[in-house]
Amino acid sequence: MTREDRARERERLAQMAIELTARRGAEVTPEILAVEAGLSRARIDALFPQESDLFDATTERWFAPHVAMMEEVLASDLPTIRKFYEFFARRYLHNRKEYRRDPEAFALLCELGARRFERVRSYIDLADHYLCELIAQAQVDGVFEGLEIDQALSLINQMVVAYTQPDVLMMLDERLSEEKLAAIVETMFAGLSGKDRGARGLAGLHAA
């Protein structure tokens, strides 16, 4: 088997594991995957030697379209505000489609991801990394003035959490829309800055 063959075979089995997880309503072990794929357990172990390798392969498979969507947006020549919108909207619509196609399977896959969050972490970090690039581009245009990139990152992530966190998406589903996401992105572009504009008021006065 060449290295490419191995990679392709792992990808095929990772996709199968995702579908089996959805169908069975539980995490798929290497034993179950071997039976369902008609392969020997030794063959599965050779392809996924470490205990976490199968999970990592399914995670990679799950996030591959997300990574592709983000990279496509970053490489595009859209105006920065459009890039921001597309950066969130494409992944939101992708998640929404997955969720609505099979709500229970989507919820289960999210739960499995949350349980092994340390293995999913790198995809969150990658999204943050790309968003920092977009923030830096926006700051060249004078947007998000007076904020460190990390501050802007955290505030922006919080303002769109309903569109990026699968758990919140599941909870709010029908109330979310591309129009509202666009309005939130436009609100950031028009209003997010490091200026103090009096929401917290004077210290000690009416302390919360």
Question: Residues interacting with a copy of itself, by CB under 8 A?
Answer: 76, 78-79, 81-82, 84-86, 89-90, 93, 154-155, 158-159, 161-162, 165, 167-168, 171-172, 175-176, 178-180, 182-193, 195-201, 206, 208
* Cα 53–chain centre separation: 20
Closest CB to a copy of itself among residues 32, 155: 155
Name the minimum Å distance from CB 157 to a copy of itself.
8
CA 185/CA 201 separation, integer angstroms: 26
Closest CB to a copy of itself among residues 28, 156: 156
Name the minimum Å distance from CB 130 to a copy of itself.
16
Closest CB to a copy of itself among residues 29, 177: 177
DSSP 143: -
Closest CB to a copy of itself among residues 32, 182: 182
Closest CB to a copy of itself among residues 56, 178: 178
Cα 139–196–89 angle (5° rounding)?
A: 45
Note the residue count of the chain. 208
Nearest to 14 by CA among 51, 50, 47: 47
CA 26/CA 21 separation, integer angstroms: 5
Name the minimum Å distance from CB 55 to a copy of itself.
21
> By the 8 A CB rule, do 54 and 48 touch?
yes
Name the minimum Å distance from CB 208 to a copy of itself.
5
Name the minimum Å distance from CB 65 to a copy of itself.
13
